[in-house]
Structure 1
Amino acid sequence: MTNSKIIDTEVFTELQGNTGADFVIELVDTFLDEAPQLLAQMRSARAAGEADNFRRAAHSLKSNGSTFGALAFAAQARSLELSQLAQVEEGALAALEQQFQQAAARLRELCHG
């Protein structure tokens, strides 16, 4: 996936214009710190059969991804949020984590050069 497809730069640039570049950097850094915890929470919730915790974590990831223009990541998180927990396969979580890694790398590049 090309960089332009990983993060929708129009969405990202609009966010910077509305909130300020420095604040966006803070938001991105917080997201990059918290997202791995939410991904881990999804894994443990899936293993424990805790559908509400799974959906809550997926919802947070979806919302954050959308905010920053990580639209493919957000769409995958939304799909998982709406899934029946018993039908969620390990591969879907691995795919979400891979999309997060790509989005995180691109967000770091956009914020920190």
Structure 2
Amino acid sequence: MAIDTSIFRELQETAGADFVVELVDTFLQEGPRIIADLRAAWHEKSADRFRRAAHSLKSNGMTFGATDFAALARQLETGGLPDDIEPLDNLQRAFDAATAELKELAHG
């Protein structure tokens, strides 16, 4: 499971299910843009921009209970620019898995 459903359900209880649907939909739209920015920052060797993008992804992942995705983003945030693209590819795979589950959880 890419999403810790107990965290996701707690978010629904505290924020309201309808609002969580809006949050998920925003993340589904913005997440790919942030990942693209992360990749661009890596290619441009812009460490600060890279860190900010990784931080945003980590925070979003934690909010929704995408624990593996958030952990990978945290590693990128704190570890600086990786030597190769593999960690970004791993993050993309974790994002894809998390968003597939988020769509199902939010929209049934």
What is the TM-score normalised by the length of structure 1?
0.93
Q: Does 1:103 align with 2:94?
A: no
Aligned residue identity for 1:31? F
Q: Does 1:33 align with 2:29?
A: yes
1:109, 1:26 → 2: CA distance? 14
Q: Does 88-97 or 28-37 show the bigger shift?
A: 88-97
Aligned residue identity for 1:42? L
Unaligned runs of 5+ residues in structure 2 are none
2:86, 2:26 → 1: CA distance? 26
Aligned residue in 1 for 2:16: 20
Q: Does 1:83 align with 2:70?
A: no
Deviation digits for residues 8-53 of structure 1 (CA, Å, limit 9, x no counterpart): 0000000000000000000000001001001000111011111110
Q: Percent identity?
A: 56
2:6 pairs, out of 5, 10, 13, with 10
Q: Would the aligned equivalents of 1:80 and 1:88 in 2 still touch at CA under 8 Å?
A: no
Aligned residue identity for 1:96? L
Aligned residue identity for 1:59? H
Count of aligned pairs between the two proteins = 108
Change (3 A) 1:54 1:79: same
Unaligned runs of 5+ residues in structure 1 are none
What is the TM-score normalised by the length of structure 2?
0.97
